Amino acid sequence: MQDMSRKTFVSTEGIALGSAVLPEGYITSGTIVQKWQCDAVPMTISMAAVSPGAQIIIASSSREMFEDYQNPTVRQSIQNLPTTIPGSLRTFTEPYVYLMQFASAFAQTQLTPVATATLPSAYGKDPGKAVGWLKQFFMSHSVNITVRIEIANATCQGILVKYRGQKNGKNIVVLAGMDYQGIEYYDANNTFQQINMMMNPLGALGSLFGGMGKSQPQQARQMQPLPPNGQIPFGHASQYGKQVDCIQWGCNRSYIATIPEEREEEGTNAFLNFVSSLVPDEALQQQYDSFVEQMFRQRTLEAQGYAAQAQQAQINLMQSQRNLQQTLARNSAEMSAMTMDSWNKKMASDSRISAARSEAIRGVNTYTGLDGRPVEVSVVADHVYQNQYGDTFGVSGNALDQDLLNQINWTKIG
């Protein structure tokens, strides 16, 4: 039995990362990659321990989380948001497939799974408690400006798989584990559809922390009967009649060890002690949590901005609708007036033509008398006169002298 002791992992910059129980003689190291992988992951913290002779390698990395939006319109909207972190979007992957991808990439060789077990981590020891913490964290860090988030399904699993493979012509054993976690959720208020219509009737808008864009509710229907244990397999809630807008999935921490086949027992003991005793550095964890809270506050402000934009867009849309109705009413009135004016002019023209035709048939011309009424006189008259009593006569040839007309009270009207 090897002697064991607690060893501290320190980054190349001299920052304490955490500690774990390891066999004597193991050399520890660590790195911090300060890059946002998603809104809840401000940095990636990795720790490694190597046995004397570097034959056994044990490592662990901190959280990584992804989101898979089930509605294509929402997914496209989220991708187009300038604040979206591209590395946070990834299609849902089954836990054991995800773990094997991680193990194969670390070992850099093809692996074959030979056994599974429960990881002796916090998630493995008490998954129910882990699920409770996960739900509480998720609900408290969702930007609920106008959204009512509901959880359709949640899981926390401590998964451990043993693989076998070959590397550099030698048989190796790979132990890989992770604290897998995930939540399937939806917007019970169908907020995305409302904001989408307000912000852009022809487009789409999604938002916010962790990508809280929402899709139109799906009609729940029982697709499959529940398994005997009553647990809906994570990532498949929609197949059991649950509404799901998004699948948030990943791992809280991953663990791995590569061991020469002839030292399997020794390496396995070292790995299991490492997993069960690993403790992140408290100061670094506080800094990590502080970054997450800062991002949450930033996303909240962004959400408030989107909500204000949506409200203003709704006001603008209503004003545009009113303006359009007024314009259509004005255009309709103008068209009606133009139509009526054209009709009146046509009727007047038709009346003049009809009157002229009638005069020609009857051999008369029409004049306006002193009292404003029409007077008809033979067409042979070159000049037409009328007195104050309404008597009218026409004269052919030269007109009468005006002085004479004044003396006898006759007035020329044509």
Q: What is the pLDDT of residues 61-97, one digit of tens each?
A: 999 999 999 878 778 878 887 888 999 999 999 999 9
More confident residue, 3 or 97: 97
Residues 127, 42: one domain? yes
Q: What percent of the chain has pLDDT over 70?
A: 81
| Same-domain check for residues 309 and 222 | yes
> Which residue did the predictor score with more confidence, 298 or 279?
279
When divided into structural domains, the chain yields a total of 2
Candidate from 80-84, 196-200, 285-289, 339-343 with smallest mean pLDDT = 196-200
How far the first Cα of the chain sits from its last, in Å, is 140
Task: Give kind and range of the element (H or E) at residue 215.
Answer: none
Residue 131 and residue 185 in one domain: yes
Range of the domain at 228: 4-317
Distance CA 323, CA 333 (A): 15
Which of 317, 349, 380 marks a domain boundary?
Answer: 317
In whole angstroms, what is the distance from residue 132 CA to residue 305 CA? 31
Task: For residue 353, tell me if it sits in a domain.
Answer: no
Q: Is the peptide bond before 208 cis (omega within 30 degrees of 0)?
A: yes
Estimate the share of the chain in helix, then strand, then coil, as percent rounded to the nearest 5: 40, 30, 30
Residues 6+ apart with CB under 8 A from 155: 127, 131, 180, 181, 182, 234
Q: 264 lies in a domain?
A: yes
Single-letter amino acid code for the residue at 205: L
Higher pLDDT, 260 or 304: 260
Q: Clarify whether residues 162 and 306 are in a common domain.
A: yes
Establish if 45 belongs to a structural domain.
yes
Same domain, 292 and 370: no
Partners of 19 in the beta sheet? 8, 279
- Does 166 lie in the same domain as 101? yes
23: helix, strand or coil: strand
All residues at 6 or more sequence positions from 286 whose CB lies less than 8 Å from its CB, including other chains: none
The verdict on 100 and 200 lying in the same domain is yes
Domain finish residue from 255, 284, 317: 317
Residue 326, amino acid:
Q
Q: Please answer whether residues 183 and 156 qualify as being in contact, where contact means their C-beta atoms are separated by less than 8 angstroms.
A: no
- Which are the contacts of 136, defined by CB distance < 8 A and separation ≥ 6? none
Instruction: Please indicate, yes or no, if residue 328 is contained in any of the structural domains.
Output: no
In a domain, 9, yes or no: yes
Residue 356 lies in a domain: no
CB count in 10 Å sphere of residue 247:
25
273 and 402: one domain? Answer: no
Spatial distance between the Cα atoms of 227 and 153, rounded to a whole number of angstroms = 14
Compute the mean pLDDT over every residue in the chain, rounded to the nearest whole number: 83
Domain contains 202: yes
Helix or strand or coil: residue 156?
A: strand
Locate 391 and state its tokens.
Answer: 């008597």
Q: Which two tokens stand for residue 157?
A: 């699993």
Of the spans 108-117, 310-319, 362-371, which averages the highest pLDDT?
108-117
With respect to residue 120, please indicate whether it lies within any of the assigned structural domains.
yes
The structure tokens listed for 277 are 């005793």
Q: Which one, of 61, 51, 47, 137, lies nearest residue 99 by Cα?
A: 61
* 35 Cβ contact list (under 8 Å, min separation 6): 43, 44
Residue 84 — φ and ψ, nearest 5°?
Answer: -70, 135
* Encoded tokens for 329: 């009413």
Q: How far apart are CA 210 and CA 185, in angstroms?
A: 12
Whether residue 379 sits in one domain with residue 301: no
Could you tell me if 54 and 178 lie in one domain? yes
CA dihedral 93, 99, 103, 104 (to 10 degrees): -30
Confidence of residue 208 (pLDDT cuts 50, 70, 90): very low
Q: Which pLDDT does position 217 carry in this prediction?
A: 42
- How far is the C-alpha of 195 from the C-alpha of 143, rounded, in Å? 14
* SS3 category, 302: helix
Give the lowest-confidence range in 136-140, 264-268, 359-363, 375-379.
Answer: 359-363
pTM of the model: 0.69
Together in a domain, 98 and 239: yes
**Coil, helix or strand at residue 247:** strand
Task: Using the predicted structure, report yes or no on whether residue 128 has a pLDDT greater than 70.
Answer: yes
Q: Is the predicted pLDDT of residue 358 greater than 90, yes or no?
A: no
Instruction: Provide the 8-state DSSP code for 82.
Output: T
Q: Please give the residue that has the higher pLDDT: either 74 or 358.
A: 74
Closest CA to 307 of 204, 191, 396: 191
Residue that terminates a domain, selected from 263, 296, 317: 317
Extended strands (E) in 261-358: 279-280
Side chain identity at 74, as an amino acid letter? V
Same structural domain for residues 308 and 375?
no
What residues are paired with 150 via a beta bridge? 186
Interatomic CA distance for residues 128 and 111, integer angstroms? 31
For 116-147, b/e burial (b = at least 16 CB within 10 A) is: eeebbbbbbeebeebbeebeeebeebbbbbbb
| Contact indicator for 103, 165 with CB cutoff of 8 Å | no
Lowest mean pLDDT among 119-123, 188-192, 227-231, 344-348: 188-192
Burial (CB count <10 Å: 0-12, 13-18, 19+), residue 282: exposed
